[in-house]
Amino acid sequence: MSGGLPPDPTGYRDSTVQASADTQVGQELEPIVKHVTLDKSRIYQGWPEVRNRHTDYQAAQATGLTEPNINGGQTAEYLGELFIKFFGSGFVGGSLLVKFIGFVSINDTVTVRGVVTGTETEGNRVKLTVDLWAENQDRVKVLAGTATGYAS
């Protein structure tokens, strides 16, 4: 807090853990926490022009769900955020694989985590492999993935 005023809670902040040539296998990435709401889902989808099972109860229930769930593309953004924050410009030449293994529902709190699982030298560059995953407030994994990229 500066001068008694609160900081912008949505303000961007670099990760405290970033890929480097010295990064070791087992290094944990700084987690990211997201609270998912129906409003956030509607913003992502382009509601009210777009209405679907991610924005409207009726549409969700027509597909057998009890309430709207969060689109996989939106939850993949959470892994993408951790990916970019860790690799920085070293994401170029890298890859990201995301598996959607569980539903993310409105009002879930999702925590995205990662750990370095491999390093290798390619010429004068260091390539890192990272396992990424996201879990909900019940510690149930909803996303799992693997990423590669280069130390900046």
Partner 1 sequence: MTERKTVEQLYRGTHPLEEATIGDQLGSLDFVISAAQIERNAWANDDYNPWYMDDSPFGGRIITPVFLASFDATLFYAYYAYPPGGSLFAKQEFEYLVPLKIGTKYTMTGALADIYRRRGRTFYVAAMSITDQDGTEVMRMSKTVAAPVRPVDEATAAPSGADVTETRE
Interface residues toward partner 1, by CB under 8 A: 10-12, 34, 40-41, 43-46, 48-53, 59, 63-65, 71-74, 76-81, 83-85, 89, 91-100
Nearer to partner 1, 47 or 119 (CB): 47
What DSSP element (H or E) covers 40?
helix 38-45
Instruction: Supply the minimum distance, in Å, between the C-beta of residue 5 and partner 1.
Output: 19
State the Cα–Cα distance between residues 93 and 70, nearest whole angstrom.
29
Instruction: Supply the minimum distance, in Å, between the C-beta of residue 63 and partner 1.
Output: 4
**Could you tell me if 89 and 152 are in contact, meaning their C-beta atoms sit under 8 angstroms apart?**
yes
**Could you tell me if 86 and 19 are in contact, meaning their C-beta atoms sit under 8 angstroms apart?**
yes
Nearer to partner 1, 98 or 126 (CB): 98
Instruction: Supply the minimum distance, in Å, between the C-beta of residue 108 and partner 1.
Output: 14
Nearer to partner 1, 71 or 136 (CB): 71
In DSSP terms, which residues pair with 125 in a beta bridge?
122
Instruction: Supply the minimum distance, in Å, between the C-beta of residue 76 and partner 1.
Output: 4
CA dist 65 to 19, 53, 59, 60, 79, Å? Answer: 40, 8, 9, 5, 24
